[in-house]
Structure formats: C-alpha cells, structure tokens
Structure 1
Amino acid sequence: MKFHHIRTALVGGIAVLLSGNAAPSGKLCPAASAVLPQLACVESANGVVLAGDTARAQRLLELAESGVVRFKEYFGRQALRYAVAEGPDALVPPESVSALRKAGFPVVLPWISPKVYRQQVEQSIRRGLTARMAGRPQEEIDAAVLKAVEQQTNPERFARTELATVSHELGHYWFWQGYWPKSTLSEDKHYGGPSPDWLDEMSAVLMEAPVSFNDRVKQFGQRYATYRVDPQKADENTRLTVDLVNFLSETHPAHEQTKLLSQQVGGEPKNGSFKAMVFSGEEARKIIEGGARFYLQSAVASQYLIDRTGNRQIFGRIAEAFARGETMAQWLANKEPKGKLPRDLKALQADWMAWLATRFPAEAATKPAA
C-alpha cells in the first residue's frame, strides 16, 4: 500500500521562515477557521489541524507535532508554521489551500480522511482485480474487492500508515519551503523539490515515527545481509542498495512509475492544483519495486552521516550548502567541519562499506547440532 501526494505548484505565496518564537496558543485557529469554517480546528504553538471532528483533528495534530520535534532535532531550525486540512468527504479545494497560506500558514498539507482513503483503496483494488479476473462473474469480482478492501483499510492498519505518512509528508514541505522559500515545484526535474532527491526524501524519512524508521533500517539490514553473502550473485536492486554514490546522484526511483500511474488513472494535475491518490495491490507493487530501496537507503544513510560527523543536525548544514548552489562533492570538500566523514565521493563509498560491515555484523556461525 502506498500513499502518495503529487505535489504540483503548491507555493501560493511567499514562504516565511519562522524563528523559534511561535504564536501563543489560541491565536491560530481563528485565522484557519475563517477559511474552512465547516471543519473542527485544534492547534499548537506551531500549527493547526482542521478536520471533520475534534477527535480526528487532535489525532492528526499529535502526529504533526511529533514531526515538528524531529525537524528541530535533525535540521536545527524551527519548522514552518503548518496547517493540515482534511475534508471528511473530499480533499479540500485548491482555493482553500491558497487562502490558508495567505492566512499565515506557509506549509499547508491537504490530508485524506479515512472515508476518502477507503474509497481510493477500493478504486485501486477494483482496477487491478477487474483486469486480473476478466470474464469472471461480477458478483465474484465484487466479493474479492470487498475482502481485499477490508484487509487493507482496517483501523489498525490505517493508524500505522498515518503514523508514518503525516509527519513524512510535512517533512517534505518543511524542508523544501524552509530552504527554498521562493521556489516552485517542477516534477519533471525533481520528485520532491529543488534539493537533490536523496536529501528531500531523507528529510521526510527522518520525520517518521521511530517504529516506522526502525522498520526501514531493519529491511535495509536484510538486503545488506543478502549482498554480503555473495556480492557477485546479488541482483541489481540489492547492489544498488549499498551504492551510496549512486544514491547521492540519482532521481527518485519511484518518480517515473508514480507519474505514469497517476496519468493512467487520473490524468495530470492542472496547474495550481493538487491530488492525493492511494495505490494498492499491483499498482503499489510497481511503485514499491522502484522506490522502496530509496526509503531504506534514506534511513540508513542518515545514520551513517550522523555517526561519521558526530552531528545530529548535519542535514541542515548540507541543505544550506545545496541552497547556496553546492553539489555533494563540493560540500564534502569545503572547509566546514565534518568529523570523520571522508572528503570525496570515492573515499565516501569505501568508508560507507566499512561502516555497513560494522553496523550490520554477520550473524555468528551456527553451532553444530548436539
């Protein structure tokens, strides 16, 4: 299951970077509710959530706030003031997103309600099963769709999905609009924003709840274990998993597949608009095949950078270098302190491989049976 936002022309005004002084509690909801008065609003000192009822809004606020803490932890600056807006029956319209920005919320995340989520999961599953079960009775197809939908949208599974995705998606916007406040998004050049794709994705993965982040690390370790058994026999995707230099230069592997699928099922977003789409079943598998590696690499490479530099906020330093036009190679070579991190890409790859061998040690040899 893959929850993907197609981010297109989402900067409606000027993004203003907040200092550490957030607005007092109780001051933000009036401005947001003036835009979407039909929705319940809850707030923190950092932003607001608008949703169909207060309990739902409060849940989303907790997820967003966990991301605020992690953004400060890893980037060393306050996250931009945000508004998460969830319409119960449909995505909030683009004009409301623009109005929220003008009302003082540089980061606006249109969110998908449980009801809409279920509808889109059903649409995705129905597309796949209808093709696979062509010629079968409609009643049989409907029953298969219903069973799959129930499995994919049960409350526990939905909660796990949101635990990762709310702060993840906010992380993309905080990073992009925080370091490139006057930029506009070009999907033809980048999957996310003006940054190289790896740091854009890493900025989002770092925002995820620890349980989600740690699961990515575990999956990376499993792939690395396969690689180290016999590197020559490893498939291409497994070899790419340990290729740090490639990771630092490639376009997000899921970009083209996601773009193609979105065009096939819903068409391109019009200029100034946005979409949120849920891909499930075979559609999700196609995206996962291309993109899963990138997420796993983002998690483990972030640990490598922290370990070698001794700086949990090194990502802010790298982002500042990219914002002023440096490449990764140029940043490695500049005079900024970087702890034990090598100063060129070739040495970086060698050091990364040595670090992986320590980070994911081979299991002890199996003892002979008694």
Structure 2
Amino acid sequence: MSLSRPVGRIVLALSAIACSSAPALAGQARLCDQASSILPDLECVESANGVALASNAARARRLLELAEGGVERFKANFGRQPLRYAVAEAAEGLVSRESVAGLRKGGFPVVLPWLSDRTYRAQVEASIRRGVSAQMVGRPQTEIDAAVQTAVDRQMSPATRARIELAAVSHELGHYWYWQGYWPNSTLSEDKHYGGPSPDWLDEMAAVLMEAPDSIDDRVKQFAQRYNRYRADPTNADENTKLMIDLNNFFSETHPAHQQVQQLNKNAGIRSSNDSFRVISGEEARKIAEGGVRFYLQSAVASQYLVERTGDRQIFARIAEAFVRGETIEQWLANAEPKGTLPRELKAMQADWLAWLDQRFPTS
C-alpha cells in the first residue's frame, strides 16, 4: 500500500503486506555522521547505500539488513543504483517532519520513518479496540478489554511482526526509489494517484519487486490458489478474483485501496494521507485488503509474465522510462523497442496473459 510517502501511509496489520548483510564502509562512518547530526539520540549503522537509525544498535542493524536486500533487488530489476536512503525508527511515534526534512537536505533523498515495536503495538491496539468496541456495544468494559488484549497479543506475535517487516521495509523503500528516482522533481499527489506520478500498477509493482523472495513466493502461491478456484467455478468468482486476471484493468485502474484509505482518513479527521502514519487492523484492514491484496498479487505475477515474455529482467526500467517520456502503456507496447514475444497491443496481450496463466499454473 501506499508516507510523504511514510508520513501518511497506512500499514495493514493483517497479512496484506503480509537479506543480504550490509557492507561496512572503511574508515570513518561518514554517512552516520551526517544522519546523527540530525537525530543524535538514535543509534546509527550504515552501508555504502544508506543508514538505519533506531533506539539501539541491534535494531538499527536489522533495519539496515532489510533495506540492503531491497537495494540489491532494485539494481537487479531496474538496472540502476537506488537513491541513498535513511530508515529512521524513533522509540516513540515517528521521527519528526523536521528531522525527515533535515535528513533529506543532509544527503538522504529517500527517508523512511518507521514505527518501533512499542508504537506499532499501540496503534494496532487502537485499531482493534475500535472494531471490538463496535461489535461488543453494551458489554462490560472488562470483557471488551480482555477481547482487545487477546486480539493484540495474537497480532503482535514476534513471528507475525518479523514476517510483515521482511516485506514491508524494502517494499516501502521501493516506492520511494521508483518514484523519486524517475521523477526527482515531482511532488506526491495522492488526489490523482495512490503513489507518485507513475501509473499505479508500476508504482506498486516496483515496491512488490523489492520484497524478500519468500514474500514474493507467498504472493504467487496466493494468486495460484485464487486462480485455480476461479477456473474451477468462474461464474461464482467474486469481483476481486475476476479483476485479478483482467490485465487491461490492472494497467488502467487507480490503486484499489486508494478510496478506502481516503475514507478512513476522513473518518479519522486526517486531512490527507500525508498527515500521519497509522496502523489499521481487523475490519478496517480487511476492507482495504480486499482490493489491495489483489493488486499486490497481480503485481507479483504480472511482473513474472512481463519478464518471461520480453526476456528482459529489467523491462520495468524501460517501461518506467517510457512513462517519464509521457507515453501510455498502449504507446509503449506499440513503440519500436524490442519486446520479445510480448504482444504489441492490450487486447492481444490480455489473451496471451490468460494463455500464459494456464501454463504458469497448470491444473493437477
């Protein structure tokens, strides 16, 4: 899903979102010197590509490790070095807007404010409490509190938190690296898009491609399960499953979670999704996840289709460059660039995609 970017992004506590070691610089820790001048109360670790700051060094090292996995995947999929990053996790809440701005001015174009475990738990509890309280109207407060605590403990298991972060840190950095790397002088306009200036499908695909391989594999498996159920009984498939195999719609739609996020922000009195970083769970997350997860699954599998048909691991860079030039997906398909066996217009590509899906996910 899509904060300036983080200072406004909603992280699903459902499974909607749910490495390599970081090389050290020789000699003086120059990047950490720059970052620590902005956030002196946080521990800092660095690689040649960026820094991670947290309340203790072990946590900072973990965040750096997750970010570095994304760096390697960005280079593999887009053929370019991602912008220098800073992942910053305050002990309470988020690092301030002033600190984010200072990091950017200090040489870190991509800044990802991140929630500590303590803050994440508090926000998960607030979200769950809203849902449980609505369902248990009139029940004793002690019963409501017990139900909330049980749900929070289940949601906040170390394994669940680790699984979410394994995908989410590099996923969120991927949004920034793509948006700011290809449109460096643009501003975020979420009235028009869930993300930056790009069509939403490639913005989301760029982020999904940054996820750890295990996360990508999970998405492909979920797609296969839904697709096999669809093939078994297409007439009874729900709308999101039907849209999941509609490649033309995928290329043209606004991120399906966009309207739901805007409505949640409106209900919470938030002027825009750049105003805060909120965690949602339970029923709130489920509503967004219905369309959002489908978009993630499409991104994972459609990326494999594009690579296989074009024979180009870095085809995403060529499409991004076309979008920067102002081309549409239709215009890019029709232009003179080599594209392997990928059809040159959308209707033919939809038919080819369906044929590819049958080969990619054969029936037993």
TM-score by length of 2: 0.92
Question: 1:301 is matched with which residue?
Answer: 302
User: Aligned match of 1:146 in 145, 149, 168?
Assistant: 149
Query: CA distance change for structure 1 residues 190 and 264 in 2, over 3 Å: closer, same or farther?
Result: same
AA aligned opposite 1:80: L
- Structure 1 residue 292 displacement after superposition: 1.1
- Aligned residue for 2:299, secondary structure, equals helix
The secondary structure found in structure 1 opposite 2:278 is strand
CA distance in 2, matches of 1:152, 1:260: 24
1:237 paired with 2:245, answer no
Distance change >3 Å, CA 157–CA 33, structure 1 → 2: same
- Paired AA for residue 102 in structure 2: A
| Alignment deviations for residues 217-264 of structure 1 (CA, whole Å, 9 cap, x no partner) | 011111111221233332222111110011000000011101211222
What SS class does the counterpart of residue 278 from structure 1 fall into?
A: strand
Q: 1:8 to 1:122 in 2, by over 3 A?
A: closer
Cα separation, 1, equivalents of 2:182 and 2:146: 49
CA contact (8 A) 1:257 1:290 kept: no
Unaligned runs of 5+ in 1: 11-21, 364-370
Q: What is the SS of the residue equivalent to 1:312?
A: coil
User: AA paired with 1:113?
Assistant: S
What letter corresponds to residue 122 of structure 1 in structure 2?
E
Tell whether 2:43 aligns with 1:40: yes
Q: Which residue of 1 aligns with 2:71?
A: 68
Q: What's 1:289 paired with? A: 290
In structure 1, what is the Cα distance between the partners aligned to 2:98 and 2:4?
17
Supply the AA of the counterpart residue of 2:334: A
3-state secondary structure, aligned to 1:80: coil
Preserved contact between residue 4 and residue 277 of structure 1 (Cα < 8 Å):
no
Displaced runs of 4+ in structure 1, greater than 6 A? none
Amino acid at match of 1:313: Q
Instruction: Give, in whole Å, the separation in 1 of the partners of 2:245 and 2:2.
Output: 25
Question: Is residue 258 of structure 2 the alignment partner of residue 228 of structure 1?
Answer: no
Q: Secondary structure at the match of 2:37?
A: helix
Cross-structure match for 1:16: none
- SS of 1:42's partner is strand
Q: Deviations for 1:314-350, whole angstroms, at most 9, x for unmatched residues? A: 0000000001100000000001111110100011001
Query: Percent identity between the aligned chains?
Result: 68
Query: Is the 2:52–2:60 Cα contact (8 Å) retained in structure 1?
Result: yes
* 1:316 and 2:317 aligned: yes
CA contact (8 A) 2:2 2:194 kept: no
For 1:196, the equivalent position in structure 2 comes to 199
SS class of match (1:108): strand
Q: Which amino acid letter does the alignment assign opposite residue 231 of structure 1?
A: P
After superposition, the C-alpha distances for 1:93-120 in whole angstroms (9 at most, x for unaligned) are 1010000000000000011110000000
CA-to-partner distance for each residue in 1:23-82, whole Å, 9 max, x for gaps? 955220000000000000000000001110000000000000000000000000001000
- 1:336 aligns to what SS in structure 2? coil
Q: Residue 290 and residue 352 in structure 1: after superposition, are their counterparts in 2 closer, same or farther (change >3 A)?
A: same
Show CA shifts across 1:139-158 (max 9, x none).
00001111110000111111
Deviations 1:114-173 (A, max 9, x none): 000000000000011111100000000001111110000111111111001000000000
> Deviation of residue 362 (structure 1)?
0.8
Instruction: Determine helix, strand or coil for the equivalent of 2:184.
Output: coil
| 1:6–1:275 Cα contact (<8 Å) kept | no
Q: Secondary structure at the match of 2:114?
A: strand
Q: Does the 8 Å CA contact 2:49/2:84 hold for their aligned counterparts?
A: yes
Can you give the 5+ residue segments of structure 2 that lack an aligned partner in the other structure?
9-22
Higher mean C-alpha deviation, range 228-237 or range 144-153: 228-237
Is the partner of 2:268 in helix, strand or coil?
A: helix
Which whole-Å CA distance do the structure 2 matches of 1:5 and 1:130 have between them?
A: 28
Q: Is residue 137 from structure 1 mapped to residue 140 from structure 2 by the alignment? A: yes
- C-alpha spacing 1:9/1:147, structure 2 compared with 1 (3 Å): closer
Aligned to 1:171: 174
Between the aligned partners of 2:317 and 2:145, the Cα distance in structure 1 is 50
Instruction: Call closer, same or farther: CA 1:71–1:159 in 2, change over 3 Å.
Output: same
1:262 aligns with 2:262: no
Aligned-residue offset at 1:190 = 0.4
1:157 and 2:160 are equivalent in the alignment? yes
Whether 2:216 is the aligned partner of 1:213: answer yes
**Superposed CA RMSD:** 1.7
TM-score by length of 1: 0.91
Distance 1:45 1:111 in 2: 20
